[in-house]
Structure 1
Amino acid sequence: MATLETVRVRDYMSTRLMTFTPEMEVMNAVHQLVKSGHSGAPVVDASGKLVGMLSERDCLQIALVAAQDTCVAGPVSQYMSKNVETVSSDMSLAQLAGLFTQNRQFRRFPVVDDGKLVGQISRSDVLRAISHCC
């Protein structure tokens, strides 16, 4: 029987992700987030390397620019969080659960292997694994 020690992030991560590029106009990204109902998305360069995350919290900075009555706020790179904590697809879900409890504000982690974004894993993915294993 599988346990959270033997189950890996790759077994439960999402691989079909909405992503943004650093050059994208941030208001276009905001519109996509609102339309999709997502609260954030990874930002990747042309080679697929993770360079940041754009979250709802990051987007709230746009309110300061939007108050100036403009709909052009600048590129995603101007607003994204650049110091992103990531996990490997080989990490156990037990280790991942520990990270989620230590970093209570995180809802998800980008999954990176060999410098490339390969997926994303959320707290609800871990709960799904717990439900399957227990």
Structure 2
Amino acid sequence: MGIKSYQGPRAEFKNEYKAPILVEDYMTKSLITFHPNQSILEVMELLIRYRISGGPVVNDDGDLVGIISEADCMKEISESRYFNMPILDKRVSHFMSEEVETIGHDVSIFDAASKFNKSNRRRLPVMEHGKLVGQISRKDILAAALKLKAFSWRR
């Protein structure tokens, strides 16, 4: 029996994912950064003013040397109460976390979500060739997921 409606060879189906799915597509690029010699009081003021919960600490050369967060600032508040002293003008270097977990700019947001899920971090500095290029937060990952829901997640 012959084929009645043969239309020729079909075009090969390519399952390409066109949605932006990399950390660099959703990271914050204009960062509020802090310096190790900066006053912790000034950091607290900047956290309040810009409504952020922390940020990277960089040296004079722009190298990432730590990260400071609201929780780190809370240490100053609790220490001052414990010793019954006013909040002192201590430096960021005294309170910042020096062991900073980072993420590459070319990592997918799915891998970033997994990294956030396995740690208690709220933000990760984004690195490219050893240099700080941005920061991604848990909220950025959530926003990316909402934008991606319109695309097919199948590969």
TM-score range, shorter chain: 0.7 to 0.9
Please tell me the residue identity of whatever aligns with 2:99: N
Q: Which has the higher contact order (CA 8 A, sep 6+)?
A: 1
Offset at residue 60 of structure 1 (A): 1.1
Which deviates more, 68-77 or 35-44?
68-77
Task: Kindly indicate whether residue 81 of structure 2 is the aligned counterpart of residue 61 of structure 1.
Answer: no
Counterpart CA distance in 1 for 2:61 and 2:128 is 13
Q: Indicate if the aligned counterparts of 1:65 and 1:73 stay in contact, CA closer than 8 A.
A: no
**Pairwise mapping of residues 1-134 of structure 1 onto structure 2 (< 5 A)?**
1-2=17-18, 7-67=21-81, 68-103=84-119, 105-134=120-149
* Structure 2: tracts of 5 or more residues without a match: 1-16, 150-155
Larger C-alpha radius of gyration, 1 or 2? 2
Identity %: 37
Counterpart CA distance in 1 for 2:138 and 2:130 is 23
Offset at residue 85 of structure 1 (A): 0.3
When the two chains are superposed, the root-mean-square deviation of aligned CA atoms in Å is 1.7
Counterpart for residue 10 of structure 2 = none
Paired positions, count = 131
- TM-score with structure 1 setting the length: 0.88
